[in-house]
């Protein structure tokens, strides 16, 4: 997780964001049966049996018919892909169930409530890691595979999402994704105008403030690093500031976009070359290996490229600790 997580968590600590996330990006019939008026955030801090505190991500629950449905939101807002995300989620959900058992927060039938694990990812490369735990486990002989743990999570890869439909339906999460993808001040101002209109009611002041904090502390510094913004207290002030400096911002934004695109293109090119070399040397690569390559730094790619002739297998190639 990156240093801007508090701003993202602040946004998804509002029920309107969770509601729009479910309605706009999960196309399943059961979503229409949720009672969104019952949405409530619950503690995501658990204590394991060995008394080590563990802070998880955002946890909500909502009534589904006559029982609770838990929504586990893992905000993976960073540039790298975790190939073992399914293992992390297995641990987190295990801690959640452990806590619910201790609290006797079971269903009427005495069973554990259902949990929907959701991973929100906004990296530049596409997410290639396995979304199902069973895919990470080496195939076992006979019925041994039946005893392997099973878990599957819902992936929302921001860069692969077409948010045009939810956008037309005044979806706040779609607006967030569009802001994340914006590469021009005009686009940013258009989305801000929509948010100002959608969040005009007094009872939405908290969410409007959360968007203001996120735009100021995360979005604009990410587009224009080193630019000192004046103190702004609302989205309308940010929009006005952009309108007053549109020419200067446009040129700086374009220049930064070109530089970022060049750097990213070089890194992706090195990754692709190494991927082809590894495939030729060791055969087809697994999704986990491809994800590891795509999330690597330039230094890692260069180091692996130097070892490819001497390594007898992928384990030796990636074994940094023994070198």
- Torsion angle in degrees (nearest 10) through CA of 262, 263, 266, 270: -160
> If you search the block for the tokens 């394991």, which residue do you land on?
48
- Most confident region among 87-96, 118-127, 269-278, 288-297 by mean pLDDT: 87-96
Residue range 181-192: mean pLDDT, rounded = 78
DSSP code for 168: H
The residue among 204, 177, 207 whose CA lies nearest residue 191 is 177
Residue range 106-116: mean pLDDT, rounded = 89
Residue range 107-131: mean pLDDT, rounded = 87
Three-class SS state of 242: helix
CA distance 188 to 163: 15
Least confident of 13-17, 135-139, 290-294: 290-294
Share of the chain above pLDDT 90, in %: 21
Report the chain's mean pLDDT, rounded to a whole number.
79
CA distance 215 to 209: 10
Share of the chain above pLDDT 70, in %: 76
**Whether pTM exceeds 0.85:** no
User: At a CB cut-off of 8 Å and minimum separation 6, what does 138 contact?
Assistant: none
- Residues 32-72: pLDDT tens digits? 999 999 999 987 666 655 445 555 578 899 999 888 999 88
Residue range 117-127: mean pLDDT, rounded = 84
CA distance 64 to 35: 6
| pLDDT confidence bin for 19, thresholds 50/70/90 | very high
Least confident of 61-65, 165-169, 193-197, 258-262: 258-262
Whole-angstrom Cα Rg for the chain: 22
237 has pLDDT over 50: yes
Burial status of residue 239 (CB atoms within 10 A of its CB: 0-12, 13-18, 19 or more) = buried
- Scanning the chain, the segments in alpha helix (DSSP H) are 5-11, 15-25, 85-103, 164-168, 172-181, 185-198, 205-214, 220-223, 235-244, 246-282, 287-294, 298-307, 314-318
User: At a CB cut-off of 8 Å and minimum separation 6, what does 177 contact?
Assistant: 158, 161, 163
Least confident of 57-66, 102-111, 144-153, 256-265: 256-265
Tokens representing 196 are 């100002």
């Amino acid at each position: 997780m990156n240093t801007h997580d508090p701003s993202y968590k602040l946004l998804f600590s509002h029920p309107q964001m969770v509601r729009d996330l479910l309605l706009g990006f999960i196309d399943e019939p059961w979503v229409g049966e949720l009672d969104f008026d019952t949405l409530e955030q619950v503690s995501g801090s658990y204590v394991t049996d060995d008394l080590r505190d563990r802070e998880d991500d955002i946890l909500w629950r909502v009534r589904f018919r006559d029982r609770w449905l838990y929504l586990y939101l893992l905000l993976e807002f960073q540039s790298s892909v975790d190939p073992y995300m399914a293992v992390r989620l297995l641990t987190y959900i295990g801690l959640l169930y452990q806590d619910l058992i201790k609290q006797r927060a079971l269903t009427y039938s005495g069973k554990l409530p259902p949990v929907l694990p959701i991973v929100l990812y906004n990296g530049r490369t596409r997410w290639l890691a396995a979304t199902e735990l069973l895919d990470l486990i080496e195939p076992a002989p006979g019925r041994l595979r039946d005893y392997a743990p099973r878990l599957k999570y819902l992936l929302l890869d921001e860069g692969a999402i077409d948010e045009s439909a939810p956008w037309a339906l005044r979806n706040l999460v779609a607006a967030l994704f569009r802001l994340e993808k914006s590469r021009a001040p005009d686009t940013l101002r258009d989305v801000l105008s929509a948010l100002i209109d959608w969040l005009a009611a007094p009872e939405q002041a908290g969410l409007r403030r959360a968007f203001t904090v996120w735009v100021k502390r995360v979005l604009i510094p990410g587009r224009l690093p080193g630019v000192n913004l004046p103190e702004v207290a609302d989205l309308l002030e940010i929009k006005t500031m952009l309108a007053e400096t549109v020419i200067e911002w446009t040129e700086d934004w374009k220049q930064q976009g070109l530089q970022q695109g060049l750097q990213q293109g070089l890194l992706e090119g090195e990754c692709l070359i190494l991927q082809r070399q590894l495939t030729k040397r060791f055969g087809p690569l697994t999704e986990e290996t491809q994800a590891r390559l795509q999330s690597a730094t330039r230094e890692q790619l260069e180091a692996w490229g130097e070892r490819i002739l001497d390594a007898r297998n992928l384990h030796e190639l990636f074994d940094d600790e023994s070198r």
